[in-house]
């Protein structure tokens, strides 16, 4: 309540000061070369009501209700009405002001016709200046409101983006762990000697999932090591029926990328790839420098009769749109005997947009 009173009091003081300045302006201007009346102060006081009334109609009715709301036809009509009425009111103010100052000796009043246009010009100059200040103030307030709304919109969009990313990761993790645990279960049933090694590899994978995947970015070498651990597990599962060629050329070790960026592609190849002549062939290559990352993977398959994209591949498409919009190229080729993914990421552009 106190804040409202202070704001109202501040507005009243500002208006009083404004009209005192206008009164001083009238008194000073009308006093120059004056030969019609003795007291310009009193004459200026006669002009103040019509000046204040016309100004307030402009700044509190015409501008906010019609001009700002782009109701231009009504604004034009009511502006013309205001102009006509104000001209009539100014003429009456001038007449009665001069009549009062000349003790109603009307024989001197007819000489004012030479200065009436100048007086009207001064009055409308005040109206125009105050109206322009009102428009400027409205524009500033609208700019602040727009900036506030944009800030809230961006904050909301960021939260939604974070929630969607978390949701996508939640889909990736169970799918990834399901495949790995399924493989380990089979080895445990066989009491295979490779089971301890699989447990070690799985512990590395879980460490990556629990402590690295929730980070916004990880070093590219961590992602490469994660892929290597995954391939090792799959090699133990497939044994002699798997032929994996994994080539990597990391020219800089400082590159940061989103975690689990490549593993869904790798996982998809193992899950949906099929054996040809008893062998599942998978080729993986990663080339990275300070500007670009080029990731390629392909796997053998029989003539496809169903969608082989998998949950992971669909998730990676959504994640790329969220994390790296307009910064990547993703080409997927699904032939009769080969499924291929060619992915390029502009690291330099991604860093510039952060």
C-beta of residue 294 within 8 angstroms of C-beta of residue 344: yes
Q: Are residues 264 and 160 in the same domain?
A: yes
In a domain, residue 294? The reply is yes
User: Which pLDDT score, from 0 to 100, does residue 306 have?
Assistant: 52
Q: Are residues 156 and 299 in the same domain?
A: yes
- CB crowding 53-74: b at 16 or more within 10 Å, else e: ebbebbbeebbeebbeeeeeee
Q: Name the band, by pLDDT with cuts 50, 70 and 90, for residue 247.
A: very high
Q: pTM, whole model, 2 decimals?
A: 0.52
In a domain, residue 119? The reply is no
The domain of 62 spans 2-114
Q: Are residues 161 and 242 in the same domain?
A: yes
pLDDT tens track for 102-138: 666 555 544 444 478 888 889 999 999 999 998 898 8
CATH number of 231's domain: 3.30.565.10
Q: Are residues 64 and 7 in the same domain?
A: yes
Rounded Cα distance between 155 and 189, Å, is: 51
Q: Are residues 174 and 296 in the same domain?
A: yes
Q: Give the Cβ contact number of residue 156 at 10 Å.
A: 10
User: Which pLDDT score, from 0 to 100, does residue 56 have?
Assistant: 92
Total structural domains in the chain?
Answer: 2
Rounded Cα distance between 267 and 310, Å, is: 9
In a domain, residue 147? The reply is no
């Amino acid at each position: 309540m106190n804040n409202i009173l202070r704001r109202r009091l501040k507005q009243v003081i500002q208006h009083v000061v404004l009209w005192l300045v206008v009164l001083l302006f009238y008194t000073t201007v009308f006093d120059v070369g004056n030969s019609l009346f003795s007291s310009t102060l009193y004459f200026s006081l006669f002009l103040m009501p019509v000046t204040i009334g016309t100004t307030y109609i402009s700044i509190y009715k015409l501008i906010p209700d019609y001009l700002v709301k782009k109701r231009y036809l009504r604004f034009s009509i009511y502006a013309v009405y205001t102009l006509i009425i104000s001209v009539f009111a100014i003429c009456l103010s001038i007449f009665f002001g001069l009549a009062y100052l000349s003790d109603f000796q009307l024989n001197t009043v007819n000489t004012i016709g030479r200065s009436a246009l100048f007086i009207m010009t001064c009055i409308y100059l005040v109206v125009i200046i105050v109206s322009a200040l009102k428009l400027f103030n409205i524009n500033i307030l609208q700019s602040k409101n727009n900036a506030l709304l944009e800030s809230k919109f961006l904050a909301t969009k960021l939260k939604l983006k974070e929630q969607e990313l978390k949701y996508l990761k939640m889909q990736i993790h169970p799918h990834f762990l399901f495949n790995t645990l399924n493989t380990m279960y089979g080895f445990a049933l066989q009491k295979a000697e490779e089971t301890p090694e699989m447990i070690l590899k799985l512990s590395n994978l879980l460490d990556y999932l629990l402590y690295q995947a929730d980070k916004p970015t990880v070093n590219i070498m961590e992602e490469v090591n994660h892929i290597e651990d995954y391939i090792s597990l799959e090699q133990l599962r497939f044994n002699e029926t798997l032929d994996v060629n994994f080539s990597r050329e990391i020219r800089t070790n400082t590159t940061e990328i989103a975690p689990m960026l490549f593993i869904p592609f790798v996982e998809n190849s193992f899950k949906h790839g099929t054996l040809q002549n008893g062998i599942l062939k998978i080729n993986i290559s990663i080339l990275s420098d300070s500007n670009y990352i080029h990731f390629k993977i392909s796997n053998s398959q029989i003539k496809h009769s169903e969608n082989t994209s998998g949950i992971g591949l669909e998730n990676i498409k959504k994640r790329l749109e969220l994390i790296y919009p307009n910064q990547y190229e993703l080409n997927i080729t699904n032939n009769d005997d080969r499924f291929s993914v060619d992915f390029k990421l502009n690291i330099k552009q991604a860093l510039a947009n952060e």
